């Protein structure tokens, strides 16, 4: 006979829902999170490998990348804990733009350590408490180790250049990192602290080599002037619009007009042309010398603009139009009845320029003087795509550094400083929490270990040398992956942004804590009506 106690195990979940409990749930979470860490860990550091991402959909897009966030964004994961790690990588990318691989690798190392502690029967809550205290100690050590050169312009610029080089050294642009670091620093310093990355446009132009990439002030639009129109406009007054400029709208909507004679067709066409003429006259009436439209401009309106001496540029892509409006200080409009409400864009000069084999239009001396364009050149679209992602990371890190100018040393140096501080705390802490703290320190040391392993170096030897150097008070010691030796990171110029490192530490600890807390995974069925 069934008893109440016997029934206590019976599931209260609706049919179709499933549940994993206790140790099983925790194990599934740990395994999923570690698998994500293992997936991206081979890309960590300057000698990290790249991954090819191939889309299974039609067209089979191929992306070659080393960027943790890009890899994780494009994979499908079913494991809930793995999803948490994918999300922290995305959040890291949005927040500071770099450290996307480090945050996932560190969180998964914390969970690897936590799994061992759970196996030794340390309660998850004790582990969480230990990790929290360790994180506080690591954060304080990181703050103490940071230096700030914002007061000295030359040194701050050097810091920024070093940060850009460190970020780029693990990416496709590593061979030309001096060149790209200069481009990125020049672009970010133009922003004068506003940090508005929208002002920096990156365009890809296949052809040439990566070294031919350059920075141009102002804005470049990948379009051409219409036939017979001026190719050079000084003191430009620009109307930016998103409006239909065709006379045969009826066709577009698939409507039919029945007429009983050809003269009526001609009348309708004439009426449409008159309407378009009036629209063009209204536009010209703004006193502009350049009209840029998001949509196509057909022959008839183009002819009217040419006769009035107004250059007309059609079919500019939406991103281009938005950015153009931003940098020239104009509005995007679609009706033309109230000229007084519309702000025109302005710039000193619009001219046609040649980049490689292509003609493009450059707007210089724009209203927002800080705006600039980086033109990327390279042999193929895949190279250009990865180059843009890498440069974007460098630009994000640099704008973060302009906002918070503190810097710390990379190459595993800051991880060793944090790990030492946490070990010291563990030595002073009685009870099982200290075990968790020691594990936290070990997870921190996993970062330099992986960077060495990826470079084919003897990680145990080098990390123990670093540990000894830090214990002896040489606080700037890290691995110089290029020489394969332990060295002074200040001299090697391996510098990182403080905010990125701090964010890696805090986000990874929080994510690990969240996953350790799990003791139940309930897969819900879709809601039934």
The site for ligand ADP, by CB under 6 A, has a size of: 24
Q: Smallest distance, Å, CB 182 to ligand ADP?
A: 17
Cα–Cα nearest to 312, from 366, 358, 369, 243: 243
Nearer to ligand ADP, 71 or 233 (CB): 71
Q: Which of 43, 65, 101, 167 is catalytic?
A: 101
Which one of 29, 30, 42, 46 is in contact with ligand ADP (CB under 6 A)? 46
Site pattern 155..184 for ligand ADP (x: CB under 6 A): -----------x--xx--------------
Q: With contact defined as beta carbons under 8 Å apart, do 170 and 428 qualify?
A: no
Rule CB under 6 A: is residue 68 a binding residue for ligand ADP? Answer: yes
Q: Smallest distance, Å, CB 36 to ligand ADP?
A: 14
Element of type H or E holding 148:
strand 147-148
Nearer to ligand ADP, 218 or 410 (CB): 410
Q: Smallest distance, Å, CB 120 to ligand ADP?
A: 30
Q: With contact defined as beta carbons under 8 Å apart, do 419 and 204 qualify?
A: no
Site for ligand ADP in 464-483 (CB under 6 A): 479-482
Question: Residue 287, class by beta-carbon neighbours within 10 Å (0-12 exposed, 13-18 middle, 19+ buried)?
Answer: exposed
| HEC-encoded secondary structure of 219-275 | EEECCCCCCCCCCEEEEEEEEEECCCECCCHHHHCCCCCCCCCHHHHHHHHHHHHHH
Rule CB under 6 A: is residue 453 a binding residue for ligand ADP? Answer: no
Closest chain position to ligand ADP (CB): 410
Nearer to ligand ADP, 37 or 99 (CB): 99
Element of type H or E holding 205:
strand 200-206
Q: Smallest distance, Å, CB 109 to ligand ADP?
A: 13
* CA distances to 180, 190, 220 from 217, in Å: 16, 9, 9
* CA distances to 15, 45, 160, 163, 325 from 396, in Å: 48, 18, 12, 11, 22
Nearer to ligand ADP, 165 or 362 (CB): 165
Q: Give yes or no: 101 in active site.
A: yes
Q: Which two tokens stand for residue 128?
A: 């969480």
Q: Could you give the CA distance from residue 376 to residue 391 in angstroms, rounded to a whole number? A: 10
Q: Which two tokens stand for residue 487?
A: 């060295």
Which one of 98, 314, 423, 513 is in contact with ligand ADP (CB under 6 A)? 98
Rule CB under 6 A: is residue 451 a binding residue for ligand ADP? Answer: yes
Nearer to ligand ADP, 504 or 516 (CB): 504
Cα–Cα nearest to 86, from 132, 43, 32: 32
Nearer to ligand ADP, 67 or 115 (CB): 67
Rule CB under 6 A: is residue 454 a binding residue for ligand ADP? Answer: no
Q: Could you give the CA distance from residue 449 to residue 245 in angstroms, rounded to a whole number? A: 62
Q: Smallest distance, Å, CB 102 to ligand ADP?
A: 3
Q: Give yes or no: 67 in active site.
A: yes
Q: Could you give the CA distance from residue 64 to residue 28 in angstroms, rounded to a whole number? A: 30
Q: Which of 93, 98, 159, 393 is catalytic?
A: 393
Q: Smallest distance, Å, CB 242 to ligand ADP?
A: 38
Q: Give yes or no: 50 in active site.
A: no
Q: Smallest distance, Å, CB 45 to ligand ADP?
A: 4
Rule CB under 6 A: is residue 411 a binding residue for ligand ADP? Answer: yes
Q: Smallest distance, Å, CB 185 to ligand ADP?
A: 17
Q: Could you give the CA distance from residue 108 to residue 68 in angstroms, rounded to a whole number? A: 13
Q: Extract long-range pairs of 482-485: CB within 8 Å, 24+ residues apart.
A: 482/46, 484/455, 484/457
Q: Which of 67, 98, 159, 453 is catalytic?
A: 67
Rule CB under 6 A: is residue 37 a binding residue for ligand ADP? Answer: no
Q: Smallest distance, Å, CB 479 to ligand ADP?
A: 5
Q: How far is CA 55 from the centre of its chain?
A: 20
* Residue range at the interface with ligand ADP (CB under 6 A); choices 42-50, 123-131, 186-194, 310-318: 42-50
Q: Give yes or no: 100 in active site.
A: yes
Helices 177-190 and 381-403, axial angle in degrees (round to 10): 50
Q: Which two tokens stand for residue 380?
A: 């193929």
φ/ψ of 511, rounded to 5, equals: -65, -45
Side-chain half-sphere CA neighbours of 406 within 13 A: 12
* Residue range at the interface with ligand ADP (CB under 6 A); choices 95-103, 115-123, 173-181, 465-473: 95-103
Which one of 42, 63, 70, 100 is in contact with ligand ADP (CB under 6 A)? 100
Rule CB under 6 A: is residue 390 a binding residue for ligand ADP? Answer: no
Site for ligand ADP in 317-376 (CB under 6 A): none
Q: Which of 43, 63, 70, 100 is catalytic?
A: 100
Nearer to ligand ADP, 52 or 227 (CB): 52
Site residues (CB under 6 A) for ligand ADP?
A: 43-46, 48, 68, 98-102, 166, 169-170, 410-411, 447, 451, 479-482, 494, 496
Catalytic amino acids?
A: 67, 100-101, 393
């Amino acid at each position: 006979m069934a008893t109440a106690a016997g029934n206590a195990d019976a599931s209260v979940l609706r049919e179709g829902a499933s549940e994993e409990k206790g140790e099983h749930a925790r194990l599934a979470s740990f395994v999923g999170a570690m698998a994500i860490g293992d997936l991206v860990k081979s890309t960590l550091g300057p000698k990290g490998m790249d991954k090819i991402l191939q889309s299974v959909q039609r067209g089979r897009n191929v992306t070659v990348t080393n960027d943790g966030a890009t890899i994780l964004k494009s994979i499908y994961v079913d494991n809930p804990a793995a999803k948490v790690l994918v999300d922290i990588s995305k959040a890291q990318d949005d927040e500071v733009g770099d450290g996307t691989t480090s945050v996932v690798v560190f969180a998964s190392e914390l969970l690897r350590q936590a799994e061992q502690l759970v196996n030794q029967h340390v309660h998850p809550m004790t582990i969480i408490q230990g990790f929290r205290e360790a994180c506080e100690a690591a954060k304080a050590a990181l703050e103490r180790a940071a230096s700030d050169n914002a007061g000295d312009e030359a040194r701050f610029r050097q810091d920024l250049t070093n940060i850009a080089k460190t970020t780029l050294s693990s990416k496709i642009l590593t061979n030309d990192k001096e060149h790209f670091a200069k481009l990125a620093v020049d672009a970010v310093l133009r922003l004068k602290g506003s940090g508005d990355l929208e002002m920096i446009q990156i365009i890809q132009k296949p052809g040439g080599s990566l070294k031919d990439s350059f920075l141009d002030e102002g804005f470049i639009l990948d379009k051409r002037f219409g036939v017979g129109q001026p190719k050079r406009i000084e003191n430009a007054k620009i109307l930016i619009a998103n409006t239909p400029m065709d006379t045969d709208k009826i066709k577009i909507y698939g409507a039919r007009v029945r007429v009983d004679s050809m003269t009526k067709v001609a009348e309708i066409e004439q009426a449409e042309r008159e309407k378009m003429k009036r629209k063009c006259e209204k536009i010209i009436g703004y006193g502009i010398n350049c009209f840029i439209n998001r949509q196509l401009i057909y022959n008839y309106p183009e002819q009217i603009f040419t006769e009035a001496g107004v250059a007309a540029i059609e079919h500019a892509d939406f991103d281009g139009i938005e950015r153009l409006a931003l940098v020239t200080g104009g509005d995007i409009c679609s009706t033309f009845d109230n000229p007084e409400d519309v702000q025109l864009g302005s710039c000193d000069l619009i001219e046609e320029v040649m980049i490689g084999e292509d003609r493009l239009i450059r707007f210089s001396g724009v209203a927002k003087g800080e705006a600039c364009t980086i033109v990327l050149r390279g042999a193929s679209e895949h190279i250009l795509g990865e180059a843009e992602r890498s440069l974007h990371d460098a630009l994000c890190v640099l704008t973060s550094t302009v906002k918070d100018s503190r810097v710390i040393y990379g190459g595993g140096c800051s991880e060793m400083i944090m790990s030492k501080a946490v070990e010291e705390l563990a030595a002073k802490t009685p009870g099982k929490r200290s075990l968790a703290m020691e594990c936290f320190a070990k997870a921190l040391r996993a970062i330099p270990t992986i960077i060495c392993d990826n470079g084919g170096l003897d990680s145990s030897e080098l990390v123990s040398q670093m540990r000894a150097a830090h214990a002896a008070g040489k606080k700037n010691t890290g691995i110089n992956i290029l020489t394969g030796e332990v060295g002074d990171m200040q001299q090697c110029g391996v510098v990182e942004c403080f905010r990125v490192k701090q964010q890696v530490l805090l986000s990874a600890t929080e994510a690990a804590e969240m996953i350790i807390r799990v003791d139940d995974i309930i897969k819900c069925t879709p809601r039934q009506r």
